[in-house]
Amino acid sequence: MNNCRESDRQIGKELGISGGSVSARIRKMEEAQIIEGFTVKVDPPVLGLGVLYIVVSGQNIQEISEQISLVGKPFFVVPCVGGITVCGIVVKGNLKDKVELAKKLMKDVRVLSIFEAENSGFDSNLTRTDLEILEQLMKDPRQKIDRISAKTDFSTKTVTRCIEKLNENEGIQFTLVYDPKKFIGFISHAVLVWIERDLKNTLKKLESKFSDSFLQVPFIAKNQIVLFMFSKNIFEMDELTHQLQKFENVKGADLFIPKKIMFLHKWLELAITESKKSSTLHLVYQTN
């Protein structure tokens, strides 16, 4: 989940098993549809866009998607246990204005919470070359460098450097989409932690305390941290949430158990097309 481009051999080295065993296990999880596919997750601020996170009551995805479209482009939609759905919406312009607009327009669904994302640390200095290679990676995040080179006419050195740059960007993640319902023996869940102060230092302390229960790297919104975790049973999950609620600098922790995870890429395709027209981007051609 944290880097689907990592080679089977490297994963095996980290786990103490052979690369062949890693490959076989990945294939087995794909056949069982535990792994539904590989994807590139790009946080909208990387392309100069804002994102709102909205929690609504209801799981009529079509109705919710129609309501979302009144505010912006859907980023992801996650129906959860308990009849609620968590959505990410890509928006342009002032985020505070968009929050108010969302409250006014989304009348046909019950909005439980709206909050804006904010991470000034994301690098948005992408070139046209970066964007063209990113377009290729969206089609198949695990494809080999020489294949990308052949499709884009960029040298393998250029492609390698670009992918290294994308990997270093905290707002871009080569990951996978999984089916939470098919986790046997574990429960995958997310905890939205509301931070009172000192967000980055609190995140470090949370990672030190709870990293053994992390399913993938956390991400940061404005004054929230979303922790993706797993537990052996509902009692362990409840205890983890209770510990988080009592943690230093934490003023609240909300538990979500996803039933399905949907990443939507139409916004990204449009944003890349638009960004490639920008005069601040430049083509970088290099030869071996």
Q: For residue 284, name the pLDDT band (cuts at 50, 70, 90).
A: very low
Task: Check residue 285 and give its pLDDT.
Answer: 36
87, 260 contact by CB (below 8 A): no
pLDDT at 200 over 90: no
Range scoring the smallest mean pLDDT among 20-34, 50-64, 175-189, 202-216: 50-64
Full DSSP string of 237-278: HHHHHHHHHTSTTEEEEEEE-BS--EE--HHHHHHHHHHTT-
For domain 49-121, the CATH class is alpha beta
pLDDT at 279 over 80: no
Give tens-digit pLDDT for 127-156: 999 999 999 999 999 999 999 999 999 999
CATH of domain 180-256: 3.30.70.1150
Domain ranges of the chain: 8-42+124-177+268-275, 49-121, 180-256
DSSP, res 221: -
Average pLDDT over residues 62-90: 88
d(C-alpha 265, C-alpha 2), whole Å: 19
Average pLDDT over residues 8-24: 95
pLDDT at 45 over 90: no
Q: For residue 123, name the pLDDT band (cuts at 50, 70, 90).
A: low
More confident residue, 35 or 220: 35
d(C-alpha 174, C-alpha 100), whole Å: 33
Cβ partners under 8 Å of residue 58, min gap 6: 64, 83, 84, 85, 109, 110
CA distances from 192 to 14, 29, 255 (A): 29, 28, 7
More confident residue, 96 or 1: 1
d(C-alpha 220, C-alpha 199), whole Å: 9
Fold of 8-42+124-177+268-275: Arc Repressor Mutant, subunit A (1.10.10)
Q: For residue 280, name the pLDDT band (cuts at 50, 70, 90).
A: low
Average pLDDT over residues 198-226: 88
Task: Check residue 65 and give its pLDDT.
Answer: 81
Helix, strand and coil content of the chain, in percent to the nearest 5, comes to 40, 30, 30
Q: For residue 286, name the pLDDT band (cuts at 50, 70, 90).
A: very low
pLDDT at 84 over 70: yes
Q: Give the distance, in angstroms, between the CA of residue 172 and the centroid of all CA atoms in the same chain.
A: 8
Range scoring the smallest mean pLDDT among 22-36, 60-74, 132-146, 161-175: 60-74
| Average pLDDT over the chain, rounded to an integer | 87
Same CATH fold assignment for domains 8-42+124-177+268-275 and 49-121: no
pLDDT at 275 over 60: yes
DSSP, res 208: H
Average pLDDT over residues 107-135: 78
Task: Check residue 121 and give its pLDDT.
Answer: 58
Using DSSP's 3-state secondary structure scheme, residue 235 falls into helix
Cβ partners under 8 Å of residue 28, min gap 6: none
